[in-house]
A and B are shown apart, each in its own frame.
Chain A
Amino acid sequence: MNMNRIAAVLKKEFLQMRRDRMTLALIFMIPLVQLILFGYAIQTEVKHIPTVVFDQSLSSSSRDMLASFSTSGYFDVTNSVNSFQAITEEIDSGKAQVGIVFPPDYNHNLEKGITAPVQVIVDASDNMVANQAIAIANSIGLIKSQQVLTQKMQLSGQPPYDIRVRPWYNPDGITAYYMVPAILGIVVTMTMVIITAVAIVRERERGTLEQLIVTPIKPLELMIGKILPYVVLGYLQITVALLVGVLLFKVPIRGSLLQLYLLTLFFITASLGLGLMISNLAKNQMQAFQMSFFVMLPSILLSGFMFPRLAMPKFIYYLSYTLPLTYYLDIIRGIVLKGIGYQYLMGQVTALLVFSIVMLTISTLKFQKKIA
């Protein structure tokens, strides 16, 4: 390996990058736009679900329970009706998505210490709303019963148990916390893959590669010189995205920023490796773009960015282990949200390292100083 040659390629790449306003703009605009779009618009949380009530108990306890539903912010009681028939009509017509029914003996059972069921009817045609409504209704039920239990125990002189159900790591269930680190991962891998793929294909298309391969440069020297500037770029991009996350979405960074930056290196190289791989296969820039999107799609769908991986079919679940983003999501969510250290992430780091080495080795070996 010859350092002078690597330095020459490096310098050239930086010079070209500096003059390519479009790429530079994209590098900073993509994280901004993506974060703002996803962070704000795709609120996977559903609030203010229109709710209809059929209260046959008409007691203070039923009113108390109902108040818990409406103060949660998830249910807006829009109507009160007097029959099951009316509830069905409200839900069928779409006026309400949830119905709450208190049986006539609700108060009576509660006082006698018998389980007092509340029926919650959910319009399951909108899956997301339905799941959320069921989950929240359940937790309200849990919380309320704990209150009741605690009150009883207090009365009997026993120490009160303050057991609270709370989602770990993200107690307020704020989506942005969860999404911002993931979007950051997606943005970085997407830009890195596309930019490296295009960087080599463009040289092939413009004919500058033909001039380059008649020189004594070695494939590895060319690869290193081409990749390093984009590593720097990847870090710049991550910094922009983190700043947006912290300033705009108030995402707390609970772990070590230094560790996050160090471990990110493995993800950046994995993405660059993937990009180089594509550049070896693509004939022109258009193909490079298409192939990049083609490999990015499973990343977005299967890495656990959108859907929880545990809920996936077995095959897809194992497939998701071949995607760098899967591991990086563990890393970034781990460090940013859970505040855990690298000790817990060595498996993910190893996976990314193996992926990078395989990709870079194949790309370098496949890169021929020949024209087709």
Chain B
Amino acid sequence: MEYAIKTLDLTKKFGDFTAVKSVNLAIKPGEICGFLGPNGAGKSTVMRMLCGILEPSSGSGEILGYDLVQESEAIKKRIGYMSQKFSLYDDLTVAENMEFYAGIYDIPYRQRRVRIQEMLELAQLSGQRRALTSDLSVGFKQRLALACAIISRPEILFLDEPTSGVSPTSRRAFFDIIHDLAQAGTTVIVSTHFMDEAERCHNIAFMLQGYLLAVDTPDRLKEKVIKGIMVRLQLPDPMYWLPRLSAQPWVLEASLHGLFIHVLLANEEAVERLYEITGHNPQRIVPNLEDVFISLAKQKN
């Protein structure tokens, strides 16, 4: 099996609205693939189709060699899924939630205790065994959801925005766990809005308005998409400058990143001109994934 996940023109329509448009994906076993894209891009919809809980309107796919539509029950035995909305039982304790899923995945009775302990440790939840789930903080809840999703040791793990609303330290810890799992051979599909998390994925799939714009490693994407010199400027009134810079023929792209304006320029001469009209010294930077995304979105439109 060359690919853990392979899709062909996967499409989902909700009535007249097409949420996912002809998505072709090929993900290798043991890979961490990050889904990136703004709200409503179709990330969750793709994941749900790959999990077999949402029927594609057209197109096909194979998960671990099983047909996405025909063999969805065989797929369900081999995958783990953590939905975007927290979806464990609030009125059960941490251990009870895990025991429930251990039972549902039919983990042999004698192994359950050890398995649950193992997952609790992996998710750093050992101290919370008896805590009621509703009393947990968001970070703990997410880790519990992860622990339940991997209790059956799935071959593929789908994580839909697992770290939204979680502190930066917790987010990093969460991604460390994901890396450990991938190291052990699990294929991980994870959607995120955070660029630092995206940087830690092996491959990134950019989505916009239902289209899959590009799939590649973070570094190659930057190389391929950003053709030019990326500079950063801190100007006193960025909102004033942004449209004026964009209007220059020698500016390929200008976008706002916090207090900074990132400007993509075609050549050295353009760097000079930028300095002349703004009076500020542009600072050369390595483009980040957000720049890549902005470029991709521009190209698409």
Chain A residues close to B by CB (< 8 Å):
2, 4-5, 7-9, 11-12, 15-16, 19-20, 206-217, 369-371
Contacts and interface: CB of A to CB of B under 8 A. Distances in A.
Contacts, number: 81
A15 B93 CA distance: 10
A207 B104 contact: no
A207 B85 contact: yes
B103 A214 contact: no
A2 B104 CA distance: 9
A206 B52 CA distance: 20
Interface in B73-109: 73, 76-77, 79, 81, 83, 85-92, 96, 99-106, 109
By size class, the interface of chain B is: 20 to 34
A289 B87 CA distance: 23
A32 to B, nearest CB: 25
B89 A214 contact: no
Contact of B105 (A211, A216, A371): A216
B48 interface: yes
A207 B81 contact: no
B68 to A, nearest CB: 12
Contacts of B96: 12, 15
5 contacts: A9-B100, A12-B92, A16-B91, A214-B53, A369-B73
Contacts of A9: 100, 103-104
A8 to B, nearest CB: 3
B66 to A, nearest CB: 13
Contacts of A217: 104
A5 B53 contact: no
B52 A8 contact: no
Nearest to A5: B104
B53 A371 contact: yes
Contacts of A2: 106
B55 interface: yes
Contact of A214 (B52, B55, B91, B102): B52
Nearest to B83: A210
Contacts of B73: 216, 369
Given A12-B92, A16-B89, A211-B88, A5 B103 contact: yes
Nearest to A215: B104
B53 A210 contact: yes
A330 to B, nearest CB: 39
Contacts of A369: 52-53, 72-73, 76
A364 to B, nearest CB: 15
Nearest to B96: A15
A214 B79 contact: yes
A7 B103 contact: yes
A212 B85 CA distance: 13
B19 to A, nearest CB: 13
Given A2-B106, A15-B96, A16-B89, A371 B54 contact: yes
A214 B51 contact: yes
A216 B104 contact: yes
A8 B104 CA distance: 6
Given A8-B102, A214-B81, A216-B106, 5 more contacts: A9-B103, A12-B89, A19-B91, A215-B105, A216-B77
A123 to B, nearest CB: 58
Contacts of A4: 103, 106, 109
Contact of B76 (A8, A209, A216, A371): A216
A20 B92 CA distance: 11
A208 B73 CA distance: 18
A11 B81 contact: no
A163 to B, nearest CB: 65
B48 A371 contact: yes
Interface in B130-160: 148
Contacts of B77: 216
Contacts of A15: 91-92, 96
Task: With a 10 A CB-CB cut-off, give which of B48, B77, B100 has the most chain A CB atoms.
Answer: B100
Contacts of A214: 51-53, 76, 79, 81
Given A12-B96, A210-B83, A215 B76 contact: yes
